[in-house]
Amino acid sequence: MKCPYCGSVCASDALYCPNCKQPLPTAQAEEREDLRAPKEKRTPLQKALIALAVVAFAAALVIGGFKLASWIRSYQLTRLYTRGVYTPKVSQVQMEDLRSGHAMIFYGKDGDQIYLPEMERSLTISGGVARMEVADSDWFDANVADIEYADITLSPMLITEKGTKTELPPFNFQVEVPESPLVVTTPAQERTTVVTGVYPLVLNVVPGSTVFINGEDVTESVDRSGLLSTYVGVKPIGDNVITLIVRTPKHRECRRELVIFREHYDIDLELDTTVSDVSSARTMAITGTTEPGASISVDTDYIPESLQVDATTGRFSFISKFTNYGENIVRFHASMPGKEDAVISFAVNYKPSLAEMSGRAWKMDYDQLKKLFENWHYQSFACKGPILDSFTDDNGASYLVMDVGTEERQLVVLENQSSVTNPVMGRRYLAYAYVDGQQMYQSQYYPKLIALYLDVDG
């Protein structure tokens, strides 16, 4: 080999260059090897401890990674349930049994569950939603006399299909002590004018409620569904105040006053309670009682020879005639010498039978209808065509827009008073309706008719 310092050729086993006397690389390597510390051999115990340390370190990494992943998942869910798409919603609702309540809506993945420990209740998410309704009264005990409201805190827990549990952020809402439910069907308004000595009273309460009418306990008359149908006396003194009190467990007392007005006259004059305010015929018998000796005069259309008055008992009757569809006024009065006349006036809704109305209905003549709608008031027509639209006005009346044209669009607006409440848009129908003026639709006036009968055409 050659000397790395001077380039002289040296023997392969030489330790120093014969020319420059420098140690050759082989010699340097042997010297360095001699200077190294002797290598120690590990015992079996040392090897076991090292292996255990490696396993422990690896386990620590796995556990730490799992905890980190769990924390990240919990953090993400917390954000979703506080400021994200999964944030629960709480809203006020009225339940089917008339009680007020709150609806709680939770969001999530189908199959997961929401567990509410305070209520010991689980909800399964379906269609991305889990919904629960709770009556407001369920948050209170029997005695609510000195309580105004309750602060509710719920701590939901999310349980996935795999069984993973995550505590979600708690949410709070406030519930006031509810008033005892009371729905008065008849009379429809809190102030009503009548012409009879008795008046029907129909109301609904929560089953199990206690009900008083003018201080009288009428709870026994309430059926199992909470319906009370009775009559109250109405005196000819002007305002008759009817006080209703309802007491439902876990609710505040409800107190409501109805005013039934019956005008006072010098002459007693009263309709029989059997006289209806609805008629399917063009005539109807009107019966009642007045003071003996009083005479009866009818101011509206009636059959003259039908009028009869019993001078001894005051019983009277006559047959009233209805010339218009819909509302017709019946008005008559009683007279006696030296006394002010007593007058009764009330409305009867005349709804003819389908056979009668269809038999008298004209075929649609749209151009003439647009011109003569005022002269053709109450005239009935057979309206055929597809329903294009529907809407409701501020008074709650329901309207349908029908195209009665054959070659071009010809729109009429039908006030729907038929039994068909939800016709299919775009489908053809046959309506029997009578003219009632004009109605605005999409900034334009169209003929308005009141549809008493509606059915699918063909």
Question: What would the pLDDT profile of 143-188 be if each residue is shown by its tens digit?
Answer: 888 888 889 898 888 888 888 887 888 888 889 999 999 999 988 8
Q: What is the pLDDT of residues 33-68, one digit of tens each?
A: 544 545 556 676 666 666 666 666 665 555 555 455
pLDDT at 415 over 90: yes
Pairwise CA distance, residues 131 & 107, whole Å? 9
Through-space distance between the first and last CA atoms of the chain, rounded to whole angstroms: 117
Nearest to 381 by CA among 456, 425, 447: 447
* Of 246, 109, 242, residue with least CA distance to 179: 246
Q: Is the pLDDT reported for residue 77 higher than 90?
A: no
Superfamily of domain 354-456: Nucleic acid-binding proteins (2.40.50.140)
- Of 102-116, 238-252, 286-300, the range with the lowest mean pLDDT is 102-116
Amino acid 1: pLDDT: 67
- Cβ neighbors of 358 (< 8 A, separation 6 or more) are 382, 432, 453
Give the domain ranges of the chain. Answer: 1-32, 89-176, 184-262, 269-350, 354-456
Whether the CB-CB separation of 309 and 364 falls below 8 Å is answered with: no
Reported as a single tens digit per residue, the pLDDT across 295-336 is 999 999 999 999 999 999 999 999 999 988 888 999 999 999
Cα-trace Rg, the chain: 46
Average pLDDT, the chain: 85
Percent of the chain with pLDDT over 70: 86
For 388-401, what is the mean pLDDT?
A: 89
The answer to whether residue 236 scores a pLDDT higher than 80 is yes
pLDDT, position 35 = 47
| Fold adopted by 269-350 | Immunoglobulin-like (2.60.40)
* pLDDT at residue 55, as a whole number: 61
Alpha carbons 375 and 429: distance in angstroms, whole number: 26
User: 8-34 pLDDT, tens per residue?
Assistant: 777 777 777 777 777 777 645 455 554
Measured between alpha carbons, how far is 114 from 156 in angstroms, rounded to an integer?
6
Q: Which residues pair with 257 in a beta bridge?
A: 243
What is the average per-residue pLDDT within 335-360? 90
**CA–CA distance, 361 with 346 (Å, rounded to integer):** 28
What's the number of CA atoms in the CB half-sphere (13 Å) around residue 58? Answer: 6
CATH topology assigned to domain 184-262: Immunoglobulin-like (2.60.40)
Q: Is the pLDDT of residue 285 over 60?
A: yes
CB-count exposure of residue 132 (10 Å: 0-12, 13-18, 19+): middle
Q: What is the pLDDT of residue 422?
A: 87
Q: What is the pLDDT of residue 365?
A: 92
Q: What pLDDT shows up at residue 118?
A: 87
Nearest 5 degrees, angle CA 292-CA 298-CA 304? 100
pLDDT mean over 213-222: 92
The CATH class, in words, for 89-176 is mainly beta
Locate 163 and state its tokens.
């069984």
pLDDT of residue 74: 54
CA atoms lying within 13 Å on the CB side of residue 228: 27
Report the 10 Å Cβ neighbour count for 97.
14
Is 184-262's fold the same as 269-350's?
Answer: yes
Confidence of residue 80 (pLDDT cuts 50, 70, 90): low
